[in-house]
Amino acid sequence: MAMIQCRWAASSLVAISMFLAVGFAWGADSPTLEELAAAIEKVRTGPDGERIVAGHVSRKLAMSVEVLRTQRARTGLDWGDLLIANLLCKPPGPTFDHVVAEFKGGAGWADIARHHNVNLDQLRSEVQLSQQAMELRSEDKGPPRTSETQSSPPTTAPTTVVPTGKATGSRY
């Protein structure tokens, strides 16, 4: 009898623990767009981060890195904020400058998205996938090889020594 009660108590504890864990995970808030933008900026400050972040954002938006760097210099936005601003400008949406003005005027990204009837969950998901790809460097192919490493031919076989028949007195 005591053994049955002990098993029942252990089973109950396991079930309650699982219920609470699922409840806490379910209730956990998704990161805000501002938090995701800050996480992207953190990746940028890491090793080789500028290349990784600029490359990903360029591919994601189908825009050249030069255009994005110009936007960045002109607006002062970090890469994560720049990604979000450009995603909000998809046609028939507002212009890039209009979105940046709203953001710099104090509106949050979620408010701007709602104001322009952008699906906030979809936008957050898209930015989060980008942030994770940059963080994991899943698209990183590394920098191109320099011409110095490309010009030296690979060695295909060991060098062989052919005796000439002349002895010089010293082996070495």
| Total tally of structural domains belonging to the chain | 1
In a domain, 25, yes or no: no
Whole-number Å distance between alpha carbons of 7 and 12: 8
CB contact set of 119 (below 8 Å; sequence gap of 6+): 113
Domain membership of residue 113 (yes or no) is: yes
Specify the pLDDT at position 168: 53
Q: Which domain holds residue 106?
A: 30-136
Q: Are 52 and 137 in contact (CB under 8 A)?
A: yes
Sort residue 94 into left (φ over 0), alpha (ψ -120 to 50) or beta: beta
| Longest Cα–Cα distance in the chain | 99
In a domain, 145, yes or no: no
Q: Where are the alpha helices (DSSP H) in the chain?
A: 2-27, 33-44, 49-61, 65-75, 79-88, 96-104, 109-115, 120-136, 147-151
**CA-closest candidate to residue 84, choices 60, 117, 48:** 60
Q: Considering the domain boundaries, does residue 52 fall inside one?
A: yes
Q: Is residue 162 part of a domain?
A: no
Q: What is the pLDDT of residues 82-121, one digit of tens each?
A: 999 999 998 888 999 999 999 999 999 999 999 999 999 9
pTM over 0.85: no
Token pair for 64: 């050249």
Q: Examine residue 83 and state whether it is found in any structural domain, yes or no.
A: yes
pLDDT in tens, 14-25: 445 444 444 444
Tell whether 130 is covered by a domain.
yes
